[in-house]
Structure 1
Amino acid sequence: MTETTATTSATATATEIPVVPAARIGNPALIVQGAMKGLIAFSAAAEKVGLPKTLVKLVHLRASQINSCGVCVHMHGGELREAGESDARIFSVAAWRDTPFYTAAERAALALTEDVTRIADRSDAVSDEVWNEAAKHFGEQELAALLIEIAAINAWNRLNLASRQVAGQGWG
């Protein structure tokens, strides 16, 4: 596969600038038999706990932003829009601390998402402060479901990034 490129005319000779690398392989979850089913089942178990769908999509979007997963940022931003979320809430997820658009529970979930996604950045993967704030808003089942959703989106991000899946091009 080849890279999609843009040509600039800033110099006498055209310079090729890589825009979007082509996928290295198809989606790994589709290549390995049963993988897609397993990943979906992992999230489906957490979904049964009953966390608000919008909250889960905000968590998915934030982790995907941190991981620079274009496929998942594109997908979950679109899902939030389809669910009727405002542009202000969708576009501000990366700066949630500095905007008034999120509830206290959403803020706690986003902070937990950031700590779990950046797990290698500290000796204690999730600070007590972040955990305790999340525990004010979510019971044990909900916290467990949040952790599963965060782990699941991080798995998707890594599969998509390592195999260079391209945003907007489906699951192939």
Structure 2
Amino acid sequence: MTQHLNTPRININEVSPAAYQAVSGLEKYIRANVDGDLLHLIKLRASILNGCSFCVDMHSREGLADGADSRKLFAVAAWREGPFFDERERAALELTDTVTRLGEHGVPDEVWDGAVKHFGEAGVLNLLMAIATINVWNRLVVSTRMQPPTV
């Protein structure tokens, strides 16, 4: 029998706390190693690209609660056209788009080089960890049909 699209399938933490904790470990690492405002943009952008309603809701609310620039949060869906982002943020968002949509050719050199220019190799590795982590969360949440709270 097919479930309604808004009916959650399973609770990840209840079914496998160890799996949930493994991804949470990645989350702790990136929170300690990526600038908070930039991390909000990365998480929100990847979640938009992946169509993850739960994560879009969560990361936009978290960003606002943490004092992130609301105009940037609202414009991240159309970041290329918006005047709100500096070169560093644009490099991180371009990397987010490219890694999230990872095609058959991977990350183009110009995207990689732009990110390294602004963040250095260690910084790019931390960005990749952040992008990979939000993509893991998005895939888990979309697949299990977790829903954002309605209140």
TM-score normalised by the chain length of structure 1? 0.80
Paired with 1:127 and 1:43, the residues of 2 have a C-alpha distance of 26
**RMSD between aligned alpha carbons?**
1.9
CA contact 2:44–2:56 (8 Å) conserved in 1? yes
Which residue does the alignment assign to 1:106? Answer: 89
1:143 correspondence with 2:124: yes
**Paired letter, 2:139:** R
1:59-70 alignment, distance < 5 Å: 59-70=42-53
- Higher RCO structure (Cα 8 Å, ≥6 apart): 2
Paired with 1:78 and 1:116, the residues of 2 have a C-alpha distance of 24
Paired with 1:45 and 1:160, the residues of 2 have a C-alpha distance of 20
**Paired letter, 1:72:** C
Paired with 2:100 and 2:108, the residues of 1 have a C-alpha distance of 13
CA contact 1:58–1:110 (8 Å) conserved in 2? yes
CA contact 1:56–1:149 (8 Å) conserved in 2? yes
Structure in which a larger fraction of residues adopt helix: 2
The structure 1 segments of at least 4 consecutive aligned residues displaced by more than 4 Å after TM superposition are none
1:81-96 alignment, distance < 5 Å: 81-96=64-79
Residue deviations 1:118-154, cap 9 Å, x none? 01x3x22111111111011002221111101111100
Structure in which a larger fraction of residues adopt strand: 1
1:29-48 alignment, distance < 5 Å: 29-48=13-32
